[in-house]
A = this chain, B = another copy of it.
Amino acid sequence: MNLIDFQTQQMPLFEDFLINTLKEEILPNSTLYHAMNYSVSAGGKRIRPLLLLAVLKSFGKNPKAGFEVAAALEYIHTYSLIHDDLPAMDNDALRRGKPTNHIVYGEDMAILAGDGLLTYAFEVIAISPLSNDKKVKLISALAKSAGPTGMVAGQVADMEAEKKQVPLKELKEIHARKTGELLRFAAIAGGIIAEVSSLALNALEQYALHLGLAFQIRDDVMDVIGDVTELGKETGMDAIHEKSTYPNLLTLTGAIEALNEELGQAKKALNYEKNNEVFDASLLNEIADMLLIEER
């Protein structure tokens, strides 16, 4: 199965699940529900859920077994965007082509909508039909990836790196946490749910780490060469915030080269010692290829 067919088959089902899982639990008509739903429904690429579900498929499992964890992951990603956009943080007014949460609902409600999504994510996993052993592994890994040693630490390091030039090594470390951790969790969570071998889990982790870096380099590059309609968010913001970016450190051409190098490494990681484990790398290779940018 190729990626387009997989997306066409699975992602509308997942999208319904993502929205309905929020709807069923929250009191109807409450402002909180609307604020949470606003940002979750705002679209986005759903790259983390796609990755998690594609891992399940790659190991011959039903992607539906990962819907709860993929939804939890997307709620956490969404909360991080809502808080990231706040006036006290990046102060962004536009996200995914729509006004950001605090522009619509106010700063107080945006803070609480983020808090609500973050907390609810753990509930969704805890009440899922997975075994308790898997739930505990997944919750522990998700909290570690999203929390003060993972994504939140990356966010702090990113803030601290603003308005100064940081060396490439530090930039990579910041992004490994800020963007990489949730992608790493997506890949590993698929592996945990599919009960893959430890060699496979390690391969998935390596794949995701390279993919995560590629993802961030791409984001930096698109902030320079993309346009607002295509991206659904303002461009040129990194320059305004005086952020250290890959194009700054490596030049635009160098950044695009580094991006494509990471994607090559990601695909290479999937060639692990299989020992008769059922695994088809084609979907994950295609996900890596999605991020390619043609050198110009």
Contact = CB atoms under 8 A, between A and B. Distances in A.
B120 A147 contact: yes
A112 interface: yes
Interface string A86-125: 1011000000000000000011110110111111101100
Nearest to A155: B112
User: What's the interface size class on A, roughly?
Assistant: 35 or more
A60 interface: no
A83 interface: yes
A119 B143 contact: yes
A166 interface: no
Nearest to A130: B136
30 contacts: A26-B148, A27-B153, A31-B156, A32-B156, A33-B148, A79-B115, A83-B111, A88-B107, A88-B108, A88-B111, A89-B108, A89-B111, A111-B111, A114-B115, A115-B152, A117-B148, A120-B147, A122-B122, A122-B139, A122-B143, A123-B139, A126-B136, A126-B139, A126-B140, A132-B132, A132-B133, A132-B136, A135-B136, A136-B136, A139-B139
